[in-house]
Amino acid sequence: MGVRSSDFSKAGLAALESLAAERDALRVKLAEAEALADRDALAPVLNRRAFLRELHRTMSEVERYKSPAAVLYIDLDGFKALNDGYGHAAGDAVLTHVGRLLLDSVRESDVVGRLGGDEFGVILNRAPADEARVKATTLSDKINASAMLYAGVAHRIRASVGVHAIALVEDPETAIARADEAMYAEKHARRAQAFAAF
């Protein structure tokens, strides 16, 4: 009794279909793993590595298309005192709260990431410097006006925000450093105003 070639072709087709299904499942798992690798461990935003990658991409677009963009550097004032006074779980809850607030307050084309500790970054794509400054003020006001309830206590959060319009010839780390410098200048100016008011 012989084996017909049609039996081989059916078996071969079934094997190919099975391999294709396995390949597709592996692609989905790989995409999920890559997405998890880009996410911050606490806040629902990108981690520093992924944020820098997106900043590099934005800077390439700025250079190629001459479209304006800016990076914001956000530092949460008094975060260490909250962490020390109420514990790391309270600090983690604040980071999650601020991450969600930032994501809800920017456009889909913008990028939010946690740069480390209590510092966040926002990439404002196709945003001229004046528009970026307005957005920085809006985000600062939203964070400063928000309160997070943790263990029955409403915790007020304050933020300092620095703005840096992305230049044509600079690298991502330099852009973040310039935004960080602007944030510290804004923080010191606000402290000086508060001191002068006494």
What CA–CA distance (Å, rounded) separates 80 from 63? 38
Is residue 118 among the annotated active site residues?
Answer: yes
Cβ neighbours for 189, distance < 8 A, ≥ 6 positions apart: none
SS3 19: helix
Select which of 40, 110, 118, 180 is catalytic: 118
User: Helices 48-65 & 172-196, crossing angle to 10 degrees?
Assistant: 100
What residues contact 24, with CB distance under 8 A and at least 6 apart?
none
SS3 106: coil
- For residues 77 and 117, give the distance between their C-alpha atoms in angstroms, rounded to a whole number: 12
Integer Cα distance of 156 and 140 in angstroms: 13
Provide the annotated active-site residues. Answer: 118
